[in-house]
Chains A and B, each alone.
Chain A
Amino acid sequence: MFDSLSEKLDRAFKVLKGQGKITEINVAETLKEVRKALLDADVNYKVAKQFTDTVKEKALGQQVLTAISPSQLLVKITHDELTSLMGGETADIKLDSNPTIILMSGLQGSGKTTFTGKLANHLKTKRGKKPLLIAADVYRPAAINQLHVLGEQIGVEVFSDAESKDPISIAKRGIAQAKENGNTVVIIDTAGRLAVDEAMMNEIAALKKRN
């Protein structure tokens, strides 16, 4: 998935191959390539700039041990900085409430319904949870059906009400059912929306607040 980025970074570090030590010049040259690689991978400009600045600072400030080459050192620093750029620690999903309620939001076609199924399957098989899925996309009749098909496939129950056009009411009733049946996780699949669509954003903000 990061093939092209990996390749370009690899090439960037080649600048340092055979160099005895880290200098302002060879680091600058390498990091120019690293920055280009990041920008080509569509990393935000400010993020890329900040990233290479940090790596440079760390590389120049480091006592170079004879045991490692400049390119190894830079790869190591880049590795640590990439990790921290992506959040550092693994951010585990919070599952302490009973039931834990997860609300999906995002653009249309971004994969919310599919992910609702995947997450339920993951929580069921790996975390011993008993999920209930709620179909709260009231704008496309096919969406309800899509969720039922996935639910069936992974053996997870789905709450829906094709008659209702009110996502909040559907969610409320779904959660009530979950409590009654001892479901430990509830995942609410919602309709896709644009962040600029005021009415739709109000709807999902209300969904979040009321549940």
Chain B
Amino acid sequence: MTGQDAVNTAKAFNDRLDFDGVVLTKLDGDTRGGAALSIKTVVNKPIKFVGTGEKMEAIDVFHPTRMSDRILGMGDVVTLVEKAQEQYNEEEARKLSKKIAQNKFDFNDFLAQLNQIKKMGNIKDLVGMIPGVGKAMKDVDIKDDAFKHIEAIIQSMTPAEREKPELINGSRRARIAKGSGQSIQEINKLMKQFEETRKMMRMMQDKGAMMKMMKNMPKMPGMK
């Protein structure tokens, strides 16, 4: 359905029912956005929600300002942060931070984090909300199953390997490659990424290091 059809339909329904608000569904599809921009003027009723997928979580409150931000490539950091907060669980976060401190962040945690990101919604939409990045990434084909091969690799590890990634030597890597249907290079890449993630997480958590960085920063107004 074209944007014009959608607007005309909304108008016809409103003429008869005098409804309170509009929901724009299937905004994840090949919609060109015209309906979102015309409905208010033509029908004089507000858009209240948008639907962005088939899942029960694929609903967003419609915020005109944030939508303009996105249309003009300014990103939508507010929505991004809100989505992240929705998935944030205090208890889990505390457990995780303890594991990181003890250098025990393992592949089970890695997988759990991936799942959190997936729950935040359509990956391409998420990337589009990061200012500046949306534009740069527009031609990159980000599929919703972008993490699939990573999941396959982790799922081919034994429980012991997931908990102690140090165990994963050359012969184990070969076995995992076979089990997950991925090349050995992919396994090596993931192992390297994992190591880096681990390192970075510890660094970020190391408060001492953070404080040192802060000290070297020029004084900011209002900071003691």
Contacts and interface: CB of A to CB of B under 8 A. Distances in A.
Interface of A: 1-7, 9-10, 38, 40-44, 46-47, 50, 75, 78-80, 82-94, 105-107, 110-111, 114-115, 117-119, 121-122, 150, 153-154, 195-196, 201, 204-205, 208
The majority secondary structure among interface residues of chain A is helix
Q: Which 4 residue pairs across A and B have the least CB separation, nearest first?
A: A42-B34, A91-B46, A195-B12, A42-B3
A195 B16 contact: yes
B68 A44 contact: no
A41 B3 CA distance: 8
Interface string B12-44: 110011011101011110011111111011100
Interface stretch (B51-59, B101-109, B152-160, B205-213): B51-59
B179 interface: no
12 contacts: A1-B125, A6-B138, A43-B37, A44-B41, A47-B37, A87-B47, A90-B62, A91-B47, A105-B13, A111-B23, A118-B58, A205-B16
B150 interface: no
Given A6-B72, A9-B72, A86 B47 contact: yes
Given A3-B138, A110-B25, A114-B54, A195 B35 contact: no
Nearest to B60: A122
Contacts of A117: 56
Given A42-B32, A85-B40, A115 B23 contact: yes
B61 A10 contact: no
A4 B34 CA distance: 11
B48 A47 contact: no
Nearest to B50: A1
A111 B26 contact: yes
A2 B42 contact: no
Contacts of A90: 61-65
Given A5-B71, A91-B21, 15 more contacts: A1-B128, A6-B135, A7-B138, A42-B32, A44-B34, A47-B37, A79-B74, A85-B40, A85-B64, A90-B65, A107-B9, A115-B51, A119-B59, A121-B56, A205-B17
